Amino acid sequence: MSSAARGATTFPAAARAGLANQTLRANLASATGTIQARRMAAAGELPDWEALREQGRRIKDRTLACLDDHLLTFEAAASAAGAAVHWARDADEANVIVAALMRAAGSTAAVKVKSLTTDEIGLNDALASVGMHATETDLAELILQLDGDWSSHILVPAIHRNRHEIGEIFRRTIADDWLTDEPADLAEAARLHLRRRFLDTRVGICGANFAVAETGSICILESEGNGRMCTTLPRTLIAVVGIEKLLPLWDDLGVMLQLLPRSSTGERMNPYTSVITGVRDGDGPQELHIVLLDNGRSRVLADPEGRDALRCIRCSACLNACPVYQRTGGHAYGSIYPGPIGAILTPQLDPTPATLSLPYASTLCGACYAVCPVKIDIPRILVHLRSRTPKRPAERASMRALAWTFARRQRFERLQRLGRRLAPLAGRMPGPAAAWRRSREIPTAPQQSFREWWRDRGA
C-alpha cells in the first residue's frame, strides 16, 4: 500500500475501525502484554538500567548537536573502507538512486531486509513502478507483502494477524492447499519460498539500526537470520540509512546494543547483529552503497522542541505501553511509524492535514516516556505539536475562558464549587458528552477542596 493511501484519513476516523475489531484488540492485548513483561524482566536484570538510559540519551543528543560534522566523518570513513556514499534529500531522490544502482548491477530483483526507512519512502512501490521487484525476507513483512497489507507495529509488523489468517494467505500465494496453520509449517513454507531468491538474486537492500561515524560502519539487528542472507550473498548491497541513525564513536554502539534488545524484544542480546564496514575481496558483497536519507529530518532537527523525536532507536517499547495503540492498532495512525513515536515523528517528517491529528492520539499518561530507552519526553512533544495545529473557534474560546478562570484564585475556587453542584448531573450529559461519559468513571466530587480544608484548619 502506498504512503498516500495509508495517510488518506485522520486518526479519529481510522481509529473507529480498530476499536470495532475485537479480533485485532485480542491479538494486540496478547502480543503487547507478552513483550512488555519480557522487557521489564530484561531491564530489571541490570542494576544500572536507568544510568544506561541516561547514557543513551546523552549519546543521541551529542550526535544531533553536531550531526553535520558527524555525517561528513561517516562519509569519509565509509569511503575509505570501500563503500560508496550517496545523499538523498527526499524519498523520490532516494528511490531514484536505488533503482539506478540496481540497473547498474544488472538486476531487476532484490532481496530486502526488514527496514522501516525503506517503508517510509515507499521503496517497494517505487521499484515496482519501473519494472523492478524487492522481495521482503522478514517473515512478518513477507506475510504483509503477499497480502498487499502493511505494517501495524514497529517490531512485529503482522501483530494484527493470527496464524489462521497467515495460513490462508500462504495457501493463496506461495504454498499448496495442504499447508496447515501450525507455526512450524508456516515457517517452512516461507523458507522454501525464499531460499531460491537468496541464492539467485544479485542485489540486497537493507536499512541500518545504527551507523558509526568513526569507522564508517553500519549495524543491522534482526531476529531471524534472513537479513544476514541478504547482506552476505548478493554481490551488491544497498543500505538506505536515515541520517539520525548516526553514532559518533564505536564505543557508543556498545551502549545501544544493550538498550535496544532489552527494550524491543526483551532479550539480553540480539540474535543476529551484523556490522558491515566497507567491502573485502571474496568476502560478502563486492559493492556497498550507503544512501544517507534526509526526507524531512533536517526540518525536525531545526525545531528545538521537536528534535528529540530523532533520538528514537525504533525499539517499539512505547507502542507496547500505550493504551491508545493497544486499542486502535497501528493502521489507525496511517503511517509506517505507529503509536506514540509515530504521533510525534510523522507530523514532523510529513506535515499534511491528515497527520496533524496524530498528536491528539494520546491520553498524555506518560507511559511511553517511562519506557523509552533514550528518554524521549513524548508527552511534552505531543503538547508542543498540538500547539501548532489550527484550533476550532469553540476550542479557542474554551481555552481563553479557562485561562481567564485560572488567572485568579477566587475565580478558580468558584468554578470548583460550581463543579461540585453540577457533578450529579454528569450521568445525564446529552449528545457527544453522553458517549464520553459511557466510557469513563467520573469520581465522586469531594465536599471540600484542599484549600477549603486547609483554611478550616486555621492554617
Question: Please, what is the average pLDDT of the chain?
Answer: 92
For residue 441, how many C-alpha atoms fall within 13 Å in the half-sphere facing its CB? 2
pLDDT digits (tens, 9 = 90+) for 263-315: 999 999 999 999 999 999 989 999 999 999 999 999 999 999 999 999 999 99
Average pLDDT over residues 438-450: 77
- Rounded Cα gap, residues 158 and 155, in angstroms: 9
Cα separation values, 127 from 27, 153, 415, Å: 32, 24, 60
- Rounded average pLDDT over 398-414: 90
Note the pLDDT of residue 7.
55
Q: Which of 283, 88, 124, 113 is nearest to 205 (CA)?
A: 113
* pLDDT value at 220 more than 50: yes
Q: According to the model, what pLDDT value does residue 76 have? A: 98
Q: Residue 6: pLDDT band by 50, 70, 90 thresholds? A: low
- pLDDT beyond 50 at 411: yes
Share of the chain above pLDDT 70, in %: 96
- Grid coordinates belonging to 304: 528545538
Q: Is residue 342 scored above 80 in pLDDT?
A: yes
Which residues, in sequence order, are bridge partners of residue 220? 274
pLDDT value for 427? 66
Query: Which pLDDT score is estimated for 2?
Result: 43
pLDDT at residue 248 above 50?
Answer: yes
pLDDT digits (tens, 9 = 90+) for 115-141: 999 999 999 999 999 999 999 999 999
CA distance 80 to 78: 5
Q: From the centroid of its chain, how far is CA 142?
A: 18
More confident residue, 353 or 366: 366
Q: CA-to-CA distance for 39 and 36, rounded, in angstroms?
A: 5
Report the C-alpha gap between 395 and 176 in whole angstroms.
Answer: 57
Check residue 418 and give its pLDDT.
87
- Predicted confidence at residue 439, as pLDDT, reads 63
- Residues 142-162 have a mean pLDDT of 92
pLDDT of residue 201: 95
Cβ neighbors of 99 (< 8 A, separation 6 or more) are 126, 127, 130, 132
Question: What residues contact 46, with CB distance under 8 A and at least 6 apart?
Answer: 52, 258, 262
CATH of domain 23-298: 3.40.50.10420
Mean pLDDT across 45-53: 95
pLDDT of residue 229: 95
Domain definitions of the chain by residue range? 23-298, 393-456
Query: pLDDT of 304-334, one tens digit each?
Result: 999 999 999 999 999 999 999 999 999 999 9
Q: Give mean pLDDT, residues 165-171.
A: 96
**What residues contact residue 185 under an 8 Å CB cut-off, 6+ apart?**
179
Query: pTM score, two decimals?
Result: 0.88
Q: Which residue stretches of 66-200 are H helix?
A: 67-80, 91-104, 116-120, 123-128, 139-147, 163-173, 183-200
* pLDDT category of residue 5 using cuts at 50, 70 and 90: very low
* Residue 377 or residue 25, greater confidence: 377
Residue 283, helix vs strand vs coil: strand
Predicted pLDDT of residue 457: 87
Cα separations in angstroms, 4 against 144, 212, 286 = 18, 33, 36
- Tell me the pLDDT tens digit for each residue of 177-215: 999 999 999 999 999 999 999 999 999 999 999 999 999
pLDDT at 423 over 70: yes
pLDDT of residue 420: 84
Torsion of CA 328, 334, 339, 343, to 10 degrees: -130
CA-to-CA separations, 11 to 334, 396, 438, in angstroms, rounded: 7, 21, 21
Position 459 scores a pLDDT of 62
State the DSSP code for 25. Answer: H
Strands 272-276 and 217-222 turn out to be antiparallel
Instruction: Give residue for cell 522454501.
Output: 192
- Phi first, then psi, for residue 169 (nearest 5°) are -65, -45
